[in-house]
Amino acid sequence: RVSVLTPSIMDLPTGLNTAELQEQALEKAEKIKRKVLQAKNRFTQGEKFQTWCQHVFDQVDTDKSGGLDCVEVYIAVLLLYVKIGSMCKGAIPPSRGRVNDLFHDFCGGDGKMSFDQFKNFAQVLCSQIATRLAVQLALNLLV
């Protein structure tokens, strides 16, 4: 029997053995992960996220060509992360190398990324943030 419960699992029933506590903690972690992923989908499909994407795209597309090159995309990602950071503390932008790698997967052969491509690109980056947060929440329940 477990005599001392950590604060992160205080809401689990008492009187259970360690294996039962771990199983219930894992079930709670899965529920939290599903909720976080649902919230992520709502966030990346939501009006605020779409507006942020449009705003940073327009802000960085200074020549108004309707496309961003690799350097401009990285600047747009940094600006987007500043906005995301106001809601989600600890959101760390990807490295320039990571953005460069993803850029080539998303843009056409002309080396420019359209707004729709950028929006999809940003949704992928944000899904990675949500996954990290879900894992953090799950690990906090188990500690």
β-bridge mates for residue 113, sequence order: 68
What are the tokens at 99? 């953005």
pLDDT 10s per residue in the chain (143 long)? Answer: 433 434 444 454 566 678 877 787 788 777 766 665 565 566 777 788 899 999 999 999 999 999 999 999 999 999 998 988 777 677 788 899 999 988 988 886 788 999 999 998 898 887 766 666 556 556 666 65
Global pTM exceeds 0.75? no
CA 32/CA 131 separation, integer angstroms: 11
CA dihedral of residues 69, 104, 93, 74 (deg, nearest 10): -10
- The pair phi, psi for residue 79, each rounded to 5°, is -65, -40
